[in-house]
Amino acid sequence: MKNSRNGKTENYRLNKFIAQSGLCSRRKADELIESGCVKVNGKIAEGLGMLVSPKDKITVNGTEIKRVQYTYVKYYKPAGYITTMDDEKGRKTIYDILPEELKKLKPAGRLDKDSTGLIILTDDGDLIYKLTHPSIKIPKVYRVAAQGKMNLEHLKQMADGIEIEKGKIAYADAMIVEYDGKDTVLQITLYQGLNRQIRKMLDFLGHPVISLKRVSHGTVNIQGMKKGQFKYIKTRELKELLNQLAKAEKLAEQEK
């Protein structure tokens, strides 16, 4: 792939190139490489760490593959819509209001009907997997208004863990941003993705959510955006996110 700014050709790890062709997962690509099914320019691939470019001819079991060009979008979800492609209950979904050009993309995680804020939309299944897998701890930051005045003891309980369902312990890093009259504005960071996690934690503490907005997912944020707006994620933003994911993956491997 040519970089329009400097004319250089980008190189990719072979397993990533195969996965981004849409043929299979990266793990399956590793198996294909190790079994000798993959050739680069007519020669059996040298190993898992081999670097290739779109100029190289890559074949798997004799069939040539090409790297797919993916689309990456950040979307500021408004309240009143659920984050799914269709709903059997007939509720409104973000796909009822998304532009036609985005309706082929899938969300990396969800926001409930009443919540607003950032959703990353893409057709890159590998990225969605990494952004949502529980072992790869990518931070999601929320701005939350909660009923009543919370204190440091409440924040400690959230950090130590709250059982929101039988056998499910939810954790959150929280800080008090300000008091708004009788209520509390919080910044909450999650590394989990449990259903309605923040709402259930604050319900347990006796401080129900008034409003909840996701402001960032990893290094991507909605700064300067309006509700219902979308923007294509720039190359620089994507590289920052991928670098963060690579570090989180490495840490997850070390913790196994």
More confident residue, 8 or 95: 95
In this prediction the pTM is 0.80
Which residue, among 19, 14, 59, 13, has the nearest Cα to 37 in the 3D structure?
Answer: 59
- The arithmetic mean of pLDDT across residues 9-22, rounded, is 81
Looking at the annotation, which residues are catalytic? 112
* Dist. CA 145–CA 187, nearest whole Å: 9
* Dist. CA 122–CA 51, nearest whole Å: 25
Predicted confidence (pLDDT) per residue in 222-255, tens digit:
999 999 999 999 999 999 999 999 999 999 888 8
- The arithmetic mean of pLDDT across residues 58-63, rounded, is 94
User: Domains in the chain, please, with CATH?
Assistant: 12-65 (3.10.290.10), 70-136+220-235 (3.30.70.580), 139-217 (3.30.70.1560)
